[in-house]
Amino acid sequence: MSAVADYVVVGAGSAGCALAYRLVMAGHRVDLIEFGGTDYGPFIQMPAALSYPMNMSRYDWGFSSEPEPGLGGRRLATPRGKVLGGSSSINGMVFVRGHAKDFDFWRDSGATGWGYGDVLPYFKRMETWHGGSGDADDGGYRGHDGPMHVTRGPRQNPLFDAFITAGQQAGYPVTADYNGARQEGFGAMEATIWKGRRWSTANAYLRPALKTGKLRLIKGLAHKVIISDKRATGVEIRTSGGVKTIAAGIEVILSASSINTPKLLMLSGIGPAAHLAEMGIPVIADRPGVGENLQDHLEIYMQYQAIQPVTLYKHWNLWGKGTIGARWLFTGTGLGASNQFESCGFIRSRPGVDYPDIQYHFLPLAVRYDGRASALGHGFQAHVGPMRSKSRGNIRLNSPDPAAAPAIRFNYMSHDEDWQDFRACVRLTREIFGQPAFAPFRGAEIQPGADAQSDPQIDAFIREHAESAYHPCGSARMGAVSDPMAVVDPELRVIGVRGLRVADSSIFPRITNGNLNAPSIMTGEKAADHLLGRGMLAAENLAPQMPANWQNAQR
């Protein structure tokens, strides 16, 4: 490769790996900058070990929020992948595209060309779907020859099907594919797992791209984008050999995450002018939207004791974990080959909500996301939380030092509707677990606990126990050039600077329904076609199936 690549991409994560792959497959030379190290090793590659990498400084940036007033001043962990594959290498591997109406909202709020019909071809291009037996099963909504393998767990534990049946008994639909025609309902959860292994973007995109010889992977900490005469010309990084500049022949693309991308923009002189001046950074483009519009999903764990020993608790000991690990290591099969999120649900909180605003992850174990058991004995739980909070936060620099973590303020639970929605989550979940399907398994409610019935009691539980679902986004949002709070235009070009784009979850105008890995990868896929300038994939006119009576009925 020559000394200067065509494109310099910062961040070998969900979007960055997909973007780099498409660029090199089109014949371009790409330099991909990543501060994190290798993703080899069982803690990342074994799906059941998911709680480990997001709590290891080797793989995680270790961010946390500022004290959150709405949550009693607690600081919430904000993991982001510091490793090849980025957060796709440390996440829960759950694959959710989002609802069609999420993307239509993007389009209608100024992100022209990002409606559901526009993004669906990119969701299809990126995936090989293993949920059905062929094209006839998916109604044209799914892809069959893309780099990302999307699978479903075996649902051998009886609790997985009990959760789906209980949802049906409570009056909700069963959906054959929440990533297809209808999101609303209960059904099998999908995951980025293939042949018993985490199928991150490092496995799906990065390694095939490296084999072309056109991708150069550079280890270093990005300091700032080098901008000359309002044009990005490269990226300054710190490596083990010192500070150097990686030049870009055509463009620079930031795919560094919804936390690090706004940080890099501000370090480069792009952001709110007053804040940059406070940090002593010369202003190149006064974009007040940089770092604003920060969003996330909060969730609580509704936990119950199990009166039959069918949960994963029987493996929650050194011998059990060792046996599972050994089987996975030698055969790639068994409980180690699943993230244990094998059934799920998407429902509406009340009449008048036109598409789901509550998501469920069901787990046949009562345990925290960080792997600490909350119940000494058999139990099960549902992760549940509202999808479209109106609370908004921001990201600011703590220091002009590129090695310093930024200040992250989500302003969780700062809108009255957040409390209403979370109370609905608690009460609707209790109703689901109270159905006959759970009668053979259901014991006492562990948390919130039977005593938490009134609004103030439920609110107190939420304030003390709500946790991030680790879906930060929106901090460099996409919109019309005329929008003073937009950071990038609908072709992902940073407004006010030439030759610089953003491609990651920070561009989301509003958070999508569900986990963010799939729409982040889609963003990288679509960004590549914007960069290549050879036209976008043809829009598709498949519409979602919507409930006919949503104005008057909750289910």
Render pLDDT for 27-36 as a digit per residue (tens, 0 to 9).
999 999 999 9
In the DSSP assignment, the letter for residue 60 is B
Place of tokens 């994963």: 312
1-65+80-149+191-293+472-534 and 154-188+298-386+413-465 in the same fold: no
How do residues 125-136 score in pLDDT, each as one tens digit? 999 999 876 555
pLDDT at residue 100 in the model: 98
Is 471 an active-site residue?
A: yes
Mean residue pLDDT across the chain:
96
Q: Exposed, middle or buried, 241 (CB in 10 Å: 0-12/13-18/19+)?
A: exposed
Which CATH fold would you assign to the domain 1-65+80-149+191-293+472-534? Answer: FAD/NAD(P)-binding domain (3.50.50)
**How many Cβ atoms sit within 10 Å of the Cβ of residue 406?**
22
Give the pLDDT score at 371.
60
Question: Residue 271: what pLDDT?
Answer: 98
pLDDT at 137: 78
Q: Does residue 528 surpass a pLDDT of 70? A: yes
Is domain 154-188+298-386+413-465 given the CATH code 3.50.50.60 in the classification?
Answer: no
pLDDT band at residue 368, thresholds of 50, 70 and 90?
confident
pLDDT single digits (tens) 35-53: 999 999 999 999 999 999 9
Q: Rounded mean pLDDT of 100-110?
A: 98
Residue matched to tokens 């560094």: 256
The reported pLDDT for the residue numbered 369 is 62
Name which residue leads in pLDDT, 157 or 374: 157
Among candidate residues 13, 548, 525, the one with its CA nearest the CA of residue 257 = 13
Is the Cα dihedral 408, 414, 420, 426 positive or negative?
positive
- Residues of the chain above pLDDT 90, percent: 94
Q: What is the mean pLDDT of residues 188-198?
A: 98
pLDDT tens string 460-482: 999 999 999 999 999 999 999 99
The alpha carbon of 203 is separated from its chain's Cα centroid by a whole number of angstroms, namely 17
Q: Please give the pLDDT value at position 133.
A: 64
Q: Is residue 104 within 8 Å of residue 125, measured between CB atoms? A: no
Task: Characterize 278-316 residue by residue with b for buried, 16 or more Cβ atoms within 10 angstroms of its Cβ, and e for exposed.
Answer: eeebeebbebebbbbbbbbbbbbbbbbbbeeebbbbeeb
Predicted local distance difference test score (pLDDT) of residue 90:
98
What is the Cα–Cα distance from 345 to 48, expressed in whole angstroms? 21
195 class by beta-carbon count within 10 Å (0-12 exposed, 13-18 middle, 19+ buried): exposed
Query: What are the tens digits of pLDDT across the range 270-324?
Result: 999 999 999 999 999 999 999 999 999 999 999 999 999 999 999 988 899 999 9
Catalytic residue among 28, 361, 471, 530: 471
More confident residue, 376 or 261: 261
Residue range 427-449: average pLDDT? 97
How much of the chain is helix, strand and coil, in % rounded to 5?
Answer: 30, 25, 45
| Cβ-based neighbours of 511, under 8 Å, separated by 6 or more | 295, 296, 297, 387, 388, 389, 471, 473, 474
CB distance 525 to 22 below 8 Å:
yes
Q: Taking a C-beta distance cutoff of 8 angstroms, is the pair 544, 159 a contact?
A: no
Domain ranges of the chain: 1-65+80-149+191-293+472-534, 154-188+298-386+413-465
Averaged over 145-160, what is the pLDDT?
Answer: 97
